[in-house]
Amino acid sequence: MSVLVGKNTKVLVQGITGGAGSFHAKQMIEYGTKVVAGVTPTRGGEKFEGKVPVFDTVERAVKESGADTSVIFVPPPGAADAILEAIDAGCALVVCITEGIPAMDMIKVRHVLEATQAEQRAAGKPLTRLIGPNCPGIITPGACKIGIMPGHIHKEGHIGVVSRSGTLTYEAVGQLTSLGIGQSTCVGIGGDPVAGMDFVDVLELFQADPDTHGVIMIGEIGGGMEERGAKFIKEKMNKPVACFIAGTTAPPGKRMGHAGAIIAGGKGTAAEKMKALENAGAKIAPTPSDMASTLKSMMK
């Protein structure tokens, strides 16, 4: 099993004719992902790589191709609208790779997403999910790759990976694979302060998945996402969780890398996050190179 995506996921690519969109769409297709449509306004009627139909709108693409998931490679000024278009068209999962979307644009997206999810909960329907923006995407090894993660480093197995850092996601996966430990699903949630799924959302899915036997969680300084994840681990999880928190040497008040990685008012420090996670029963990897071995030491 896996979470969110699998062999039957049907993907449409918004921005499929652009440089990044076309490059990564090819990579996804080569991996075996069912890329069933692309969307680029004014390019409707074309064929990507001679076989994937391109549409002018997401609504038309969903109706014609049956796509249930969208991945977005649209430049920052139009990326928030692209997310809204995918939500409005009924995509169950939206994965936004785009970096640099203005925070005010994402606040509007969050309002729409939360309203949509509230309606879905009231009706007893599955929730629309957003991964990102500013993220590497999601992959279920051997089944479906959506985004920019390098497929060759992954191995089918039973460990879930969830991370705010794209590069550290690849590092954790590479370590697991080198130890002969496969992954169920790897989710890069991104590091922006206003985004879609957070640690709790993904941890909840991993806890409910019988084929995920343990989790590596990679956080970083800034915000309270890791502390909320720690609370969930303590109260709800019975699977081993190994964690690494990036940014232990970052000076207070200085933004480091991701837009969300900033310590403000003494809150969001690496020390606070590690303490909360340790108190919840998670084990902290001392360095980035110890992530997989730390989890392995917890496995029965």
CB 22 within 8 A of CB 16: yes
Spatial strand order of the sheet with 137-140 comes to 144-147, 137-140, 183-188, 156-163, 214-220, 241-246, 283-284
Average pLDDT over residues 270-284: 95
For residue 297, what pLDDT is reported? 97
pLDDT at residue 204 is higher than 70: yes
Active site members:
258
pLDDT, one tens digit per residue, over 74-131 is 999 999 999 999 999 999 999 999 999 999 999 999 999 999 999 999 999 999 999 9
For residue 127, what pLDDT is reported? 97
Domains 10-131 and 150-296 agree in fold: yes
Question: In residues, how long is the chain?
Answer: 300
**Highest CATH level, class, for 150-296:** alpha beta
10-131 CATH, one of 3.40.50.2300, 3.40.50.1820, 3.40.50.720, 3.40.50.300: 3.40.50.720
Distance CA 22, CA 16 (A): 5
Percent of the chain with pLDDT over 70: 94
For residue 172, what pLDDT is reported? 98
For residue 265, what pLDDT is reported? 47
Alpha-helical regions (H) of the chain: 19-31, 58-65, 76-88, 103-122, 166-178, 199-208, 225-236, 270-279, 291-296
For residue 255, what pLDDT is reported? 56
pTM, entire model: 0.94
pLDDT, one tens digit per residue, over 118-169 is 999 999 999 999 999 999 999 999 999 999 999 999 999 999 999 999 999 9
Domain parsing of the chain, residue ranges: 10-131, 150-296
For residue 247, what pLDDT is reported? 81
Distance CA 106, CA 31 (A): 30
Handedness of CA 35, 32, 91, 260 (dihedral sign): negative
